[in-house]
Chain A
Amino acid sequence: MMTALLQAAGVPFAFRALTPILGAEMQARSLAHLDSVDILVIAIYFAIVIFIGFYLKGSSNTSEDFFMAGREMTAWIAGLSFVSANLGSLELMGWAGSAYQYGILAAHWYWIGAIPAMLFLGIVMMPFYYISKVNSVPGYLHLRFGDGARALSAVSFAFMTILMSGVNMYSMALVMKVVLGWDLNFSIWVSSITVAAYVALGGLKSAIYNEVLQFVLIWVGAALVPILGLIEVGGYANLARQISANLHRADYVHMWSTLGHFKDNPMGVQWIGIVFGLGFVISFGYWTTDFLVVQRVLAADSIRSARLAPIIGAAFKMMTPFIVILPGLLALSVLPFHLVGESVAVATHQHSYNEVLPLMLVRYCGPGLLGMGVTALIAGFMSGMAGNVSAFSTVWTYDIYGAFINKKATDKHYVAMGRWCTLIGVFISILTAYLVQHAASIMDYVQALFSFFIAPLFGTVILGMLWKRATRQGGFWGLLSGTAVSIGLWLFVQHDPTNLRFIAFSRDANPGMAENIYRAMWAWTVCVAVTVVVSYLTTPKTDKELEGLVYGVSKLPEEHDDHWWQKPIVWASAVGIVFVALNIIFW
């Protein structure tokens, strides 16, 4: 799926640039040809997915079952689903392309851009989400800041999520066309009918089951590329030497030593933006407040599982560069031709950066293995769509329909609404997909719109959880003003791209990367400042009213572990130590 992190962090250089390939339809070329055994592999995946949907239908009869998977997921299932909801095909292909284009710097989006936030969610925030028994992030805002903040976040999330599902669907069809030569309509309808079937039947549990299945599939389908690639180049040390020799520059294989100034690295970013913009605001905003991923953890069967799930997810997220970033770096060494940007690729019929992962799959995988790799890509797309649609269905039913339109319906009515919502959501996604096909710029706008809400939402939620003085009015006006600032800055740079120098304080900032990072930092700062000022001007809630919602006035349930090494904090520390070690190794 095309993750919100990808959008928020601004990966315009990655997949949204795929859109011009539409123009390449005329070329009628495809990267790979599938054998009958590959088709069999794909067919088996579809059969299992549909079977799971029908199988789980019987256990999704109540709203708790349908929207929250019965809150019976173990830490492992919730954790893998949590990280899998983010591990979509666009992410895989987009970041592999970015690794080819910008080198190992792309791994920042997997490490500092994810790990600290995931650990923070598990250790600090999850207890509040879990003990408040909310069904969604807007639901938490309702308890903490009232209906205004809830309505603002629910409407924006529902609207953006369903549009993103359409963009995702269209992107999948486009990739299938480029890689396999499949017809756009065929891909859109087959994938959407399958997703509609298994989510409408089995609800969140079906979506989570399929996300775990997809996670396994992506690893077994993609891991062979880096394994064989490292054998071919003779190990990582040789790879680093070959890249530096081929490109006549050493900055492609260092993560931190080139971040002193925008001009010193191929990405055009600087350490302050990476640490505070990406590592703090964007990453924490996405991983701790985007309901698409948080919903998976809320489905855990206990508070201990809910705390462990993001930590397990963080461990696997930390390993993901092996199947995403490494193939991009390997391509710099082993491919006999040079990849180019999308516009050049379309004009000159060369291969683009975004095709690096399929190209590497084709390089190392024969019949059967290739089918499994392609199935992993399809699974990633469908899982992304399912994640969007299930989150949309939950937020619409609980936080819009149930909160403002029909408050007193029966549980059965809400489940029926959830199923209909899923079908309607898929239908809107299909419309969006066709809309994007005819007006490619819509994809850019949808992604930009999504990024407007993430940073300020994090400011509102984190103040709500950690600062008991934050008031209802402060939360609402902070969220609104942060969002407005984000939109304003986006328009400011759209109007004149050179205005970026005022936001990033440098003329050398990369228009794609730096704009998103610094815009997020400003939006978060304004949100926090407005929340603090308005809160001091208004009357706070009493401690009793804030019990279970805010740090310091809530009694957290005690967890009894048999051994010290079973404690979530121990595992979080272990993941944290490996995270620091990796950054030092690839410094």
Chain B
Amino acid sequence: MAIPGRETMSIWFFCGVMLLCYGVIITLTGLWELSHPLAAPPALSNLHAPIWWGGSLAIAGLSYTIRFFPRKRARH
């Protein structure tokens, strides 16, 4: 099931993909909430945690996804 011609996927690649997905989803949710405030907002909602926390996850996830993306195998 490995990508043909590429190294096996590292666990860090999976972590990166997961964080990237979650980061994007949570950031978008936070941005949506700016224009559509929640009926029952959580405590400290004025700090907009979904935006900065989600953004941080997305950046970390993206960097890990790129850094550990399965490289092409070296030809011998």
Please tell me if the beta carbons of B30 and A213 are within 8 angstroms of each other in the complex. Answer: no
One digit per residue, 1 when the CB lies within 8 angstroms of any chain B CB and 0 when it does not, for chain A 63-74 equals 000000000000
Measured CB to CB, the nearest residue on chain A to B8 is A59
Please tell me if the beta carbons of A52 and B43 are within 8 angstroms of each other in the complex. Answer: no
Chain B contacts for A54, CB-based, 8 A: 1
The answer to the question of B66 belonging to the interface, with a C-beta cut-off of 8 Å to chain A, is no
Q: A367 contacts which of B2, B19, B29 (Cβ < 8 Å)?
A: B29
Tell me which residues from 27 to 76 in chain B have a Cβ below 8 Å from any Cβ of chain A.
Answer: 29-30, 33, 38, 41-45, 47, 49-50, 53-54, 57
Please tell me if the beta carbons of A369 and B11 are within 8 angstroms of each other in the complex. Answer: no
Chain B nearest CB, measured from A51 CB (Å): 8
* A213 with B14, Cβ < 8 A, contacts A55-B9, A228-B47 known: yes
Chain A nearest CB, measured from B76 CB (Å): 20
CA distance A55 to B25 in the complex (A): 25
CA distance A60 to B14 in the complex (A): 18
Q: B49 contacts which of A58, A212, A224 (Cβ < 8 Å)?
A: A224
Please tell me if the beta carbons of B38 and A366 are within 8 angstroms of each other in the complex. Answer: yes
Chain A nearest CB, measured from B36 CB (Å): 11
Please tell me if the beta carbons of B8 and A232 are within 8 angstroms of each other in the complex. Answer: no
A-B contact count (CB 8 A): 82
CA distance A37 to B27 in the complex (A): 12
Chain B: residues with Cβ within 8 Å of the partner, total of: 29
The answer to the question of A220 belonging to the interface, with a C-beta cut-off of 8 Å to chain B, is yes
Chain A nearest CB, measured from B20 CB (Å): 10
The answer to the question of A368 belonging to the interface, with a C-beta cut-off of 8 Å to chain B, is yes
Chain A: residues with Cβ within 8 Å of the partner, total of: 34
Please tell me if the beta carbons of A213 and B11 are within 8 angstroms of each other in the complex. Answer: yes
Please tell me if the beta carbons of A228 and B14 are within 8 angstroms of each other in the complex. Answer: no
Chain A contacts for B41, CB-based, 8 A: 366
The answer to the question of A254 belonging to the interface, with a C-beta cut-off of 8 Å to chain B, is no
The answer to the question of A520 belonging to the interface, with a C-beta cut-off of 8 Å to chain B, is no
CA distance A231 to B43 in the complex (A): 11
CA distance A388 to B27 in the complex (A): 36
Chain A contacts for B17, CB-based, 8 A: 48
* A366 with B33, Cβ < 8 A, contacts A55-B1, A228-B49 known: yes
Measured CB to CB, the nearest residue on chain A to B56 is A220
Besides A213-B11, A366-B33, A366-B45, 20 other CB < 8 A contacts? A37-B25, A37-B29, A44-B22, A52-B14, A57-B1, A58-B1, A77-B11, A208-B11, A213-B15, A217-B18, A220-B22, A224-B49, A231-B44, A334-B43, A364-B44, A367-B29, A368-B30, A369-B49, A369-B50, A372-B26
10 contacts between A and B (CB under 8 A): A44-B18, A44-B25, A55-B2, A217-B18, A220-B19, A220-B22, A364-B49, A366-B38, A369-B26, A369-B49
Q: List B residues at the A interface (Cβ < 8 Å).
A: 1-2, 8-9, 11, 14-15, 17-19, 21-22, 25-26, 29-30, 33, 38, 41-45, 47, 49-50, 53-54, 57
- List 4 A-B pairs, minimum CB-CB distance, nearest first: A368-B29, A368-B26, A209-B11, A366-B42
